[in-house]
Structure 1
Amino acid sequence: MKIRVISSRNEILSLNPNEKVVHFAFRPSNKDIFLLVETCPKLETIQLPKSYRKTVSRAIEMFLEMQKVQLVEGDVWGHRKDIHEYYTVPDSIISKIRNMKAEGISDEKIAEKIAHESKLSPEMISYVLNKKNLE
């Protein structure tokens, strides 16, 4: 699974319209979020660092709910945007999630355990868990 990292508002208009998961590496304004949703109609999830997540207005939260876009808290630790514009969730993590789900472990326990082992937030792990095909 790939997470498109956006490090400036100038990048929003040049995004692939098929992007599904995006991480803002800057504090987005309401206008930036509206523009992102307009530019990427297939968008499913926006990830924001914890400090930025706290500043998102209730109006934007409601707008994203209506657009069926999930807003999650989390980071892409150690990602170098100058090397690659996507942060890729390692296959080993996806495989662990699949195996734990097949063993019947609860989603909460999986999110807790994987978050502890990986760089992903529990909210992003929950998103991965709820994807039908676990790409």
Structure 2
Amino acid sequence: MKIRVVSSRNEILSLNPNEKVVHLSFRPSNKDIFLLVETCPKLEIIQVPKSYKKTVSRAIEMFLEMQKVQLLEGDVWGHRKDINEYYVFPQSLMMKIRSLKAEGIPGENIAEKVSREHQLNPKMVTYILNRKQLEPD
């Protein structure tokens, strides 16, 4: 699975309309989020750093709920945007989630364990877990 990393508001209009998961590494305004949802109609998750999530207005949170877009806090540790515009989850992480799921471990337990070990938001792990396939895009 991959996350499209957006480091400036100027990149929003150039995004692929099929993007499903986007990480905003800048503090987004309400206008930026409206534009992002308009540009990427298939958007499912917007991830922002923890400090930025605290500044998102309640109106935007409600707008995203109505659009069925999750707003999650999180970071893409060690990602270099100058090398690749996507952060790709390591295959080892995907295999670990797949094997835990195959063992019949409940989803919330998998989310808790994996999020603790890999510094991911548990909701992001749940999203990965609930995808039809656990293969990278």
Same fold (TM over 0.5): yes
The answer for unaligned runs of 5 or more in structure 2 is: none
DSSP 3-state at the match of 1:52 = helix
1:60 match: 60
Report the alpha carbon displacement of residue 108 of structure 1 after superposing the two structures with TM.
Answer: 2.1
Q: Is 2:39 the counterpart of 1:43?
A: no
* Partner of residue 94, structure 2: 94
Residue deviations 1:15-63 (CA, integer Å, cap 9, x gap): 0111000000011000000000000011111001111111111111111
Aligned residue pairs: how many? 135
TM-score, length of structure 1 as denominator length: 0.94
1:21 and 2:14 matched: no
Moved over 6 A (4+): none
Measure, in 2, the Cα distance between the counterparts of 1:12 and 1:104. 40
**Following TM superposition, by how much is the alpha carbon of 1:130 offset from its aligned partner in structure 2, in angstroms?**
2.0
Q: TM-score, normalised by structure 2?
A: 0.93
> What fraction of aligned residue pairs are identical, expressed as a percent?
77
SS class of match (1:78): coil
Q: RMSD of aligned C-alpha atoms?
A: 1.1
Q: Residues 20 and 44 of structure 1 are in contact (CA less than 8 Å); yes or no, is this contact kept in structure 2?
A: yes
**C-alpha displacement at 1:129, in angstroms?**
1.4
Residue 79 of structure 1: aligned partner: 79
2: CA distance, partners of 1:125 / 1:84: 22
